[in-house]
Amino acid sequence: MNVNATDEEVAGVLRHVRERGFEPIELPGADRLAIGVLGSNPGSIRDAIVDLPGVVEAIPVSKPYKQVTREWHPESTVVDVSGVCIGDGSFTVMAGPCAVENREQMLSTARAVRDAGAAIIRGGAFKPRTSPYSFQGLGLAGLDFLSEARTATGLRVVTEVVTPGDVEVVAGTADMLQVGTRNAQNFALLEAVGDSGRPVLLKRGLSNTIEEWLLAAEYVVAHGNPDVVLCERGIRTFEAYTRNTLDLSAVPVVKSLSHLPVVVDPSHATGHRHLVAPMALAALAAGADGVLIEVHPDPERALSDGAQSLNFAMFEELMAQIRRLSLALDRQLATVPSPAGEAVQG
Amino acid sequence: MNVNATDEEVAGVLRHVRERGFEPIELPGADRLAIGVLGSNPGSIRDAIVDLPGVVEAIPVSKPYKQVTREWHPESTVVDVSGVCIGDGSFTVMAGPCAVENREQMLSTARAVRDAGAAIIRGGAFKPRTSPYSFQGLGLAGLDFLSEARTATGLRVVTEVVTPGDVEVVAGTADMLQVGTRNAQNFALLEAVGDSGRPVLLKRGLSNTIEEWLLAAEYVVAHGNPDVVLCERGIRTFEAYTRNTLDLSAVPVVKSLSHLPVVVDPSHATGHRHLVAPMALAALAAGADGVLIEVHPDPERALSDGAQSLNFAMFEELMAQIRRLSLALDRQLATVPSPAGEAVQG
Amino acid sequence: MNVNATDEEVAGVLRHVRERGFEPIELPGADRLAIGVLGSNPGSIRDAIVDLPGVVEAIPVSKPYKQVTREWHPESTVVDVSGVCIGDGSFTVMAGPCAVENREQMLSTARAVRDAGAAIIRGGAFKPRTSPYSFQGLGLAGLDFLSEARTATGLRVVTEVVTPGDVEVVAGTADMLQVGTRNAQNFALLEAVGDSGRPVLLKRGLSNTIEEWLLAAEYVVAHGNPDVVLCERGIRTFEAYTRNTLDLSAVPVVKSLSHLPVVVDPSHATGHRHLVAPMALAALAAGADGVLIEVHPDPERALSDGAQSLNFAMFEELMAQIRRLSLALDRQLATVPSPAGEAVQG
Amino acid sequence: MNVNATDEEVAGVLRHVRERGFEPIELPGADRLAIGVLGSNPGSIRDAIVDLPGVVEAIPVSKPYKQVTREWHPESTVVDVSGVCIGDGSFTVMAGPCAVENREQMLSTARAVRDAGAAIIRGGAFKPRTSPYSFQGLGLAGLDFLSEARTATGLRVVTEVVTPGDVEVVAGTADMLQVGTRNAQNFALLEAVGDSGRPVLLKRGLSNTIEEWLLAAEYVVAHGNPDVVLCERGIRTFEAYTRNTLDLSAVPVVKSLSHLPVVVDPSHATGHRHLVAPMALAALAAGADGVLIEVHPDPERALSDGAQSLNFAMFEELMAQIRRLSLALDRQLATVPSPAGEAVQG
C-alpha cells in the first residue's frame, strides 16, 4: 500500500481480496503496510488489485508452473530418445546441418558425425525463415533423407516441426520433435507436440524469460508428455557482434528450478563458426546435458547458416576436446545403442 | 578484409563471389580493402563469405523485403475493414475487452465504445496465454458474442487467430484477423492469413526488430493479401515497471520505410491503466493511424489484463481528449459507415 | 520458502531475521510458506537471506529511494533555472547544437532558437565521446561562447559537466548543469553537482531502470540540491534502426512516482532528424515538462550528431507545431523573463 | 542510395563526399546504387551524409579503435601485475570480498584464498552504490587493510577507483586499478587511470557493446598505458532471474578482436552463489585468462553482495575443480612469486 493510503483504501483492498475467495493478512512495515494474499493460485487476482486506490504494487510470490519444477518432482528426468538417454549424467552430442539439402549431404554428414561420436543427427526439413524469399526447406523429401540417414548410421533423428498440422507426419520420421525459437510460445503447437507421444526438444524463445520457457514446457507436460528436453540457444540483447547472446547461466538455473534436462545450441546462439567450440566446451563445463552443433560438408556453400557451421574436420577436433573435458568432469558421451543393444561407439 | 589479409586471401574471396554468380568490386581504403558484391540478392552469399580467411565482416546493403517498402510502392496503403478505412489520414480507434467473457459483457462494451466514438470492437475468443492454467478464451462461443455485438452496434470486429486451422472459422466472423505478438513469426499462420482474403492486424513480436516485423508483413503480402495493418505493442527490454516498452518512434520509422498503416496498442505495451491515455495521445501526436484500447465494464473483475483496461468512463474521457487533439492536428476520427452508407457518428 | 522446506530451515531463517534486528512474520500459503520481514530498511538483509537453506526468493517490498518520491513529497517540484521555470505546467523548449564549435555557430543558433521560442540554449563544451579519437569539445573556450550567447539573447544555458573537478568552473557559466547518460551512475559526480547549488538536468542512463534513475536523482537531492530535472533520452535495446529506444511511457511513470519534472530528448533517443519532430510532439502529448532539441546552423557539417540535428527552418516549423498542440492541451510555452521581468516572447 | 534516387541526389552526395576530402566510388547494384567512401577516417562523415536527399543508409566499414586490436598488434599482451602475469596462457584467480569491512575480515579472507590457490586479492574500499543510503566503503582505512593483507600473504591487490581525484591514493596501495561497470564510460576516469602507470582491470559496462568496451580500453591505451585486462561481468538484458546475463561468448570474441587479456566475474554477473562455480568453470573452458570470485568469511553477514559470495569451503572446492579442469586443458594456475622469486604455491 501507498505510505499515505487511507483506512478506506486499505479496507477496499481487504474487501476485494475476500470477495475473490482469498484470505488477506495485514503486514505493517516501518513505512508502509503490506497485505499478504493466501489461498490457491493467488496470482490470479494480481491484475484485479494492482491498480486499486492506495495500492503501489502487487508482487506474486508463488510460481505459475508446477509439473516441470524440481520442487514438485525432485528427481531429474531422463528423456529416452529411442534408446539414447538425455539427462542421465551423460553428455549427448546432436549434430548435423541446419537444413536438409539433398541425399548426399545428409548421408555424408550423418556418417561423419557418427564416426566422430555424435548420438543424434539434426537437420531441418521444414524451415521457419524470417524472409518469405529464403529457402524454406525440402519438406517431405527432407524427412525421407533423414530417415535414410538414420537407417544407414543408427543415429537418432531430431527435426523441427513448425505447425500443428505437420506434427503427425514429422513424428513418423523423427525420434524427437524440435520446437524452434520463433514457435516457443506457439501454444497450439506446444499442445500438439504434447499429444504426439514423441520426446520434444524445446528451444528457448528469443526473448523468453526462464519462467516463460518453463511455462512453455509446462504446456507440453500438461498435455501428457513428460519427455521434454530444454535447449538454450541464445537470447536477444543489444549486443550485435554475436547473432544472439548465449545465456549459459540459464543451464545451472534450469537445473536448480526444474527436473528436465537442458542442452545448449552454440551454433545458433553465436552465429560464428569460431565461437562454436569454446561455447560447446563451456556448456559442458557449466553442466549441460548435451549440445546441438551445426555441421555441414561444405559450410561455405550451405543454403542456410553456413557462417556458423563446422566442417567435418572442425567437428572431429571439437569432439576430441569434448572427450578430454568429459573425462576430467567424470562424464561420458551418450552413444547410440547398437542393434544388439550395445553401444556402437563411445 | 583484414588489414593484414594476404593477396591469396583476397583472391579467395574474389573467386568465391564469382563462383556464386556475383560480381566482386575491390574498394581499397586507407587501412583495409573492402570488396563490394553486385548482383541480384547478394545477401544470399553473406553466410558463405563472412568466415572465409582474411574476412573481417560482411555487411548487407540491400534490404531483404520489397513489397511492403515505400521505395517499391510510394503511395500509402489504405486498408478497408468492411467500410472502416485505416491509413487514409483519419485516426481509427479500436476498443474492447482483452477476452470475450460473456454475452452481456460484449454487448455492453460494444455499445459503450461505439457511443464514445470507436469504429472497431476488439475481443479475444481464442487467447494465447503464457501459462497452460490461465483462462484460454471461450472459442466459438466467443465468436458468436462478437458477431452479435457487431450486429447490435455496427462496429467492425477484429479478433485474434492463433493457429492456421482456425483461420477459416475466425474469418467467418471477423472483419479483420489479428496475429498476436507471440505468433509474429509463426510463418505458417502468416501464410494462412495471407490466403484468407481478410485484412490482417499484425502485432510486432516482443523482440522483433522493425526489419523482422516488416518481413512478417511481407509474408502476408507475398501470399496475395495487401491489407496489412501493423501494430506496435511494446518490445521486451530490461525495464520492468511497464509490462513492455512502447517503442513509439517505430511509428514514424515505419511510416518512412513502408506504405502500410501503423497503429499503437498502449494497453498491452504499458500494462497499467494510468499510462494508457498519455500513450494513446502520444501515439496520435506521433502520427499513428489509430490505437487499440482495452476497455472492460468492470476492469477489477476482468478474467485477463484487468490492470491495463479502462472502464467506460475513463474511455469516454480519453475519447474527448483524442477528439480535441485530432482537431489541433487536422485529423478526423474514423467512423462506422451507417447502413445507408453514412457515418453513424463522428 | 521452498515447498519442501524443513522446520529446521524455517527456524534458521526466523532466527537469522531476528539476529539482524528485524521482526519475522510467518505467512502460510496454499503451497509454500512466506516470511515477512518488518523493521526499518528491511531490504538491507535481502542478500543475507536469499540463499539460506530452504529459501526460494527474497522479494523487496519497500522502495530504496525516498526524497524524490511523490509519496514523501506530494506536490510537484518546480525547478527555477534563473527565472525559467520547469515543472510549473508550462512546456520548456531547450535547443542548441550538440557541441559548441565556434563563436559564430553559437551566436547564430542562440538567436535562431530564441526567435523560434526556446527558453534555454544547450551546447556541449566538454563532450564525453565513445572514441578517444572523436572531437572532445572546446572546453573553457566553449563556456565563453555559451556565456556570450546568453548575454546576447537572454536564453538560459544548460551544459554538460563530465567530472567532479570541472563542476565549479562549469557552474560559473551554466544556469543548469547537465549530467549525461554515461555518467548517470557516476556517483562522485552526482554528489559534486548535489553540492553545486545549481539546478541539475539528469539524463537517464542508457540501461538504467526507472528505479535506478530515481536513485541517481536521490543522490543529488540527498546532497542538499532539490532542483533536479529528469531527462528521458532513450534506453538501449535490441532495436538498431534508432540510436536508442525512446521510452516515452517513462514520462507518465515518473510523473506518478516522483514530484520532479521530466523532459524528453528526442534527438539523442532517435538519432535521426526526421524522427525528432514526431517524438517531440508525442512527448508534449504524453505530459512531459519540456524537450531538448539539437539544432545546428548546418547539420551536414556538424562536428558531432549532425544526423539528428534540425536546421533553423526545421526547428521553426517544429515550434509552430508545438505551439498549436500546446494550445489544444491548455499548456503554455515557457519563456525567458525579459530584463524588466516580463517575458521576451511566448 | 534510395532505389528512386535522382541523378541530382546522387551528384549531391558525390559532391559532398569530395568537399570533405574523401574519394567517392559508385557501386551500382541490381536494385540500388551504393557509394563507397575512401580516405582516412571515413566514418567521420557518416553523420553528414546519412540524411542527405536520396540516401537510405550510411554503413561504417572501418573500425573506430586501433591500438587494442589484434589487427594492429597481433601478439597477445601479457599484463604483469607486480609479478603475477595475466594473459600468458595461465589462469589467474582473483578472489576476495565485495567490500573491505574490517581488518580481521580482510586478513582471514586473504589467507584463505591464498591457501586455496588465488594469486590476487580483491576488495572494495571505495564502493559505487546504486542507492545513496547503502554502505559506501571504508575509504582510506580500507586501503590500509588491503595493504596489510598484501604484506601478510604476498597476494597482489586489485581494488576499485571511482573518480579521477582518487587515482593517486588508490594507486599507492593497489597493484592493479579496477574501473567498475558504472564507470566504464567515465572517460575522465579512463584517462586518469591511463596516466597512472598501474595495470587496469576494466569491467565491461552494463550495456556496453563489445565495440564500446574496446573503445574504453582504447582510451586507457591512448593515454600511454598498455596494461589493460578486460573483465566480462554480465550485461543488462530482460532476464531477471540472474542479476545480469553473463555474456560468456564475449571471451572468444574479444580474444579474436583484441590482443588484451580477458577475465570473467561470475559473481556479479549471476548474483547467486550457486551459479558461481558452474560459470567459473565455463569461463575457463571458454578460454578466459582468469576469474574474479567474491569470497567472504560469512556471506550471510556481508555488508554487500552476500548472496553471491562463496564462503571459504565453497571456494576451496571450486579451486579443486578449476585445477582439475585446467589440467585437462593444458593450462596452469597463475601463482604469486615468492619473495625469492619462486612461486609460493601452484
Domains and CATH numbers, chain C: 1-62 (3.30.70), 79-328 (3.20.20.70)
Residue C241 forms contact with D (CB below 8 Å)? no
C neighbour chains, 3+ CB pairs within 8 Å: A, B, D
Element housing B277 (H / E): helix B273-286
User: Are the Cβ atoms of B281 and C283 closer than 8 angstroms?
Assistant: no
Distance of CA B108 to the CA centre of its chain: 27
Residue A25 forms contact with C (CB below 8 Å)? yes
Among C322-336, D90-104, D123-137, which is the least confidently predicted range? D123-137
Express each pLDDT in D285-314 by its tens digit. Answer: 999 999 999 999 999 888 888 889 999 999
Diameter over CA atoms, chain A: 77
Given a cut of 50, whether residue B207 has pLDDT beyond it is yes
Which residues of chain A make contact with C45, given a CB cutoff of 8 A? Answer: none
Q: Please report, for chain C, how many H helices and E strands are present, in that order.
A: 11, 12
What does the alpha-carbon distance between residue B189 and residue B202 come to, in Å, rounded to a whole number? Answer: 11
Q: Which triple of cell numbers denotes residue C142?
A: 566553449
Given a cut of 60, whether residue D331 has pLDDT beyond it is yes
Among A256-260, B147-151, C67-71, which is the least confidently predicted range? C67-71
User: Are the Cβ atoms of D62 and B32 closer than 8 angstroms?
Assistant: yes
Express each pLDDT in D58-73 by its tens digit. Answer: 766 556 667 898 887 8
State the angle between helix axes of A273-286 and A250-257 in degrees (0 to 180), rounded to the nearest 10: 30
State the angle between helix axes of A210-222 and A250-257 in degrees (0 to 180), rounded to the nearest 10: 50
Q: What is the mean pLDDT of residues B235-263?
A: 97
User: Are the Cβ atoms of D278 and A251 closer than 8 angstroms?
Assistant: yes
Which residues of chain D make contact with A239, given a CB cutoff of 8 A? Answer: 209-210, 235, 247, 250
Confidence of residue D343 (pLDDT cuts 50, 70, 90): very low
Q: What is the DSSP letter of C167?
A: H
User: Are the Cβ atoms of B215 and A65 closer than 8 angstroms?
Assistant: no
- Confirm if B255 and B220 have CB atoms less than 8 A apart: no
Residue B32 forms contact with D (CB below 8 Å)? yes
Q: What is the mean pLDDT of residues B41-50?
A: 69
Residue B50 forms contact with A (CB below 8 Å)? yes
Measure CB to CB from residue D215 to each of C131, C189, C304 and give the nearest one. Answer: C131
Given a cut of 70, whether residue B273 has pLDDT beyond it is yes
Confidence of residue B161 (pLDDT cuts 50, 70, 90): very high
Which residues of chain B make contact with A163, given a CB cutoff of 8 A? Answer: 163-164, 186, 188-189
Which residues of chain A make contact with B273, given a CB cutoff of 8 A? Answer: 51
pLDDT at D262: 98
What does the alpha-carbon distance between residue A24 and residue A37 come to, in Å, rounded to a whole number? Answer: 5
Q: Which triple of cell numbers denotes residue A70?
A: 524440481
Q: Which triple of cell numbers denotes residue B28?
A: 581499397
pLDDT at D118: 98
- Please name which of B24, B33, B37, B28 lies closest in space to residue B56, comparing C-alpha atoms: B33
- Confirm if B16 and B49 have CB atoms less than 8 A apart: yes
What does the alpha-carbon distance between residue D70 and residue D165 come to, in Å, rounded to a whole number? Answer: 33
What does the alpha-carbon distance between residue D66 and residue C132 come to, in Å, rounded to a whole number? Answer: 11
Residue B63 forms contact with A (CB below 8 Å)? no
User: Are the Cβ atoms of A4 and C29 closer than 8 angstroms?
Assistant: no
Q: What is the mean pLDDT of residues A179-201?
A: 96
The β-bridge partners of D179 are D202
pLDDT at D273: 94
The residue among B28 and C265 whose pLDDT is bigger is C265
- Please name which of D345, D346, D282, D273 lies closest in space to residue D314, comparing C-alpha atoms: D273
Which residues of chain A make contact with D215, given a CB cutoff of 8 A? Answer: none
Express each pLDDT in B101-132 by its tens digit. Answer: 999 999 999 999 999 999 999 999 999 888 88
Q: Which triple of cell numbers denotes residue D50?
A: 546519412
Given a cut of 80, whether residue A339 has pLDDT beyond it is no
* DSSP reduced 3-state for D109: helix
**A336 residue type, one letter:** V
Mean pLDDT score of chain B, rounded to an integer? 90
pLDDT at A62: 56
C-beta atoms surrounding A4 within 10 Å: 12
What does the alpha-carbon distance between residue B286 and residue B264 come to, in Å, rounded to a whole number? Answer: 10
Confidence of residue B346 (pLDDT cuts 50, 70, 90): very low
The C-alpha of B254 sits at a distance from chain C's nearest C-alpha, in angstroms, of 10
pLDDT at D60: 60
Express each pLDDT in C33-71 by its tens digit. Answer: 777 776 656 666 777 777 777 777 776 655 666 799 888
- Measured between CA atoms, the residue of chain B closest to residue A300 is B48
Counted residue by residue, chain A has a size of 346
Residue to test with chain B: of D32, D44, D62, most B Cβ within 10 A: D62
pLDDT at D37: 72
D neighbour chains, 3+ CB pairs within 8 Å: A, B, C
**D295 residue type, one letter:** V
Describe chain C by its helix, strand, coil percentages, rounded to 5: 40, 20, 40
pLDDT at B12: 85
Are β-strands A79-81 and A84-86 bridged in parallel, bridged antiparallel, or unpaired? Answer: antiparallel
Express each pLDDT in D228-284 by its tens digit. Answer: 999 999 999 999 999 999 999 999 999 999 999 999 999 999 999 999 999 999 999
Element housing B251 (H / E): helix B250-257
The torsion of the CA quartet C67, C73, C75, C77, rounded to 10 degrees, works out to -10
Residue A270 forms contact with D (CB below 8 Å)? yes
Q: Which triple of cell numbers denotes residue C130?
A: 565513445
User: Are the Cβ atoms of D164 and C162 closer than 8 angstroms?
Assistant: no
Q: Which triple of cell numbers denotes residue D180?
A: 567498475
Which residues of chain A make contact with C71, given a CB cutoff of 8 A? Answer: 2-4, 56
Which residues of chain B make contact with C60, given a CB cutoff of 8 A? Answer: none
pLDDT at C344: 44
Residues 205-224 of A with CB under 8 A from D: 207, 209-211
Express each pLDDT in A31-89 by its tens digit. Answer: 677 777 766 666 667 777 777 777 777 766 556 667 999 887 889 999 999 999 999 99
- Confirm if C245 and C234 have CB atoms less than 8 A apart: yes
Return all residues near A80 (Cβ < 8 A) that are at least 6 apart: A199, A227
Residue C59 forms contact with A (CB below 8 Å)? yes
What does the alpha-carbon distance between residue C300 and residue D146 come to, in Å, rounded to a whole number? Answer: 53
Q: What is the mean pLDDT of residues B5-34?
A: 79
User: Are the Cβ atoms of C306 and D187 closer than 8 angstroms?
Assistant: no
Among B35-39, B65-69, B186-190, D165-169, which is the least confidently predicted range? B35-39
Which residues of chain D make contact with A282, given a CB cutoff of 8 A? Answer: 248, 282-283, 285-286
- Confirm if B68 and B259 have CB atoms less than 8 A apart: yes
Q: Which triple of cell numbers denotes residue A83?
A: 534408446
Return all residues near D192 (Cβ < 8 A) that are at least 6 apart: D164, D167
Q: What is the mean pLDDT of residues B217-222?
A: 94
What does the alpha-carbon distance between residue D198 and residue D159 come to, in Å, rounded to a whole number? Answer: 12
Among A267-271, A339-343, D7-11, D17-21, which is the least confidently predicted range? A339-343
Q: Which triple of cell numbers denotes residue B268?
A: 498491452
Q: Which triple of cell numbers denotes residue D118?
A: 588465488
B8: Cα within 13 Å, side-chain hemisphere: 1
The residue among A63 and D34 whose pLDDT is bigger is D34
pLDDT at B191: 96
The C-alpha of A311 sits at a distance from chain D's nearest C-alpha, in angstroms, of 19
- Confirm if C1 and C32 have CB atoms less than 8 A apart: yes
The C-alpha of A63 sits at a distance from chain C's nearest C-alpha, in angstroms, of 10
- Please name which of C273, C205, C263 lies closest in space to residue C242, comparing C-alpha atoms: C273
The residue among A345 and C28 whose pLDDT is bigger is C28
- Please name which of B309, B283, B241, B271 lies closest in space to residue C253, comparing C-alpha atoms: B241
What does the alpha-carbon distance between residue B224 and residue C301 come to, in Å, rounded to a whole number? Answer: 46
A neighbour chains, 3+ CB pairs within 8 Å: B, C, D
What does the alpha-carbon distance between residue A68 and residue A57 come to, in Å, rounded to a whole number? Answer: 28
Task: For chain A, state the CA radius of gyration.
Answer: 23
Given a cut of 90, whether residue D171 has pLDDT beyond it is yes
Residue A326 forms contact with D (CB below 8 Å)? no
Element housing A228 (H / E): strand A228-232
Q: Could you read off the pLDDT tens digit of each residue along chain C, which spans 346 residues?
A: 877 888 888 888 888 888 877 778 777 666 677 777 766 566 667 777 777 777 777 766 556 667 998 887 889 999 999 999 999 999 999 999 999 999 999 999 999 999 999 999 999 999 988 888 878 899 999 999 999 999 999 999 999 999 999 999 999 999 999 999 999 999 999 999 999 999 999 999 999 999 999 999 999 999 999 999 999 999 999 999 999 999 999 999 999 999 999 999 999 999 999 999 999 999 999 999 999 999 999 998 888 788 899 999 999 999 999 999 999 999 999 999 875 444 444 3
Q: Enter the ipTM.
A: 0.87
CA angle D230, D156, D256 (to 5 degrees): 20
- Confirm if B47 and A302 have CB atoms less than 8 A apart: yes
- Confirm if D174 and D159 have CB atoms less than 8 A apart: yes
Distances (CA, A) of B277 to B67, B91, B120, B236, D29: 34, 15, 18, 21, 47
Instruction: Establish, for the pair of chains A and B, how many residue pairs have beta carbons separated by less than 8 Å.
Output: 120
First to last CA, chain D: 61
Among A118-122, D103-107, D125-129, which is the least confidently predicted range? D125-129
What does the alpha-carbon distance between residue A222 and residue B19 come to, in Å, rounded to a whole number? Answer: 52
Q: Which triple of cell numbers denotes residue D289?
A: 585468462
Q: Which residue has the cell 528491511?
A: C42
What does the alpha-carbon distance between residue C264 and residue A46 come to, in Å, rounded to a whole number? Answer: 32
Are β-strands A156-160 and B33-38 bridged in parallel, bridged antiparallel, or unpaired? Answer: unpaired
What does the alpha-carbon distance between residue A48 and residue C98 come to, in Å, rounded to a whole number? Answer: 46
Given a cut of 70, whether residue A264 has pLDDT beyond it is yes
Which residues of chain B make contact with C286, given a CB cutoff of 8 A? Answer: 278-279, 281-282
- Measured between CA atoms, the residue of chain A closest to residue B310 is A51
pLDDT at C317: 98
Q: Which triple of cell numbers denotes residue D89?
A: 596462457
| Exposed / middle / buried, residue A169 (Cβ in 10 Å: 0-12, 13-18, 19+) | middle
User: Are the Cβ atoms of A130 and B50 closer than 8 angstroms?
Assistant: no
| Exposed / middle / buried, residue B321 (Cβ in 10 Å: 0-12, 13-18, 19+) | middle
User: Are the Cβ atoms of D61 and B30 closer than 8 angstroms?
Assistant: no
The β-bridge partners of D206 are none
* pTM of the shown model: 0.88
* DSSP reduced 3-state for A160: strand
What does the alpha-carbon distance between residue C308 and residue C272 come to, in Å, rounded to a whole number? Answer: 4
Measure CB to CB from residue D252 to each of A249, A275, A325 and give the nearest one. Answer: A275
pLDDT at C343: 43
What does the alpha-carbon distance between residue D69 and residue C116 come to, in Å, rounded to a whole number? Answer: 47
Q: DSSP states of D239-277 as a string?
A: --SSSSB-BTTHHHHHHHHBSS-EEE-HHHHH--HHHHH
- Measured between CA atoms, the residue of chain C closest to residue A36 is C27
- Confirm if B209 and C239 have CB atoms less than 8 A apart: yes
The β-bridge partners of D316 are none
Q: What sign does the CA torsion over D183, D184, D189, D192 have?
A: positive
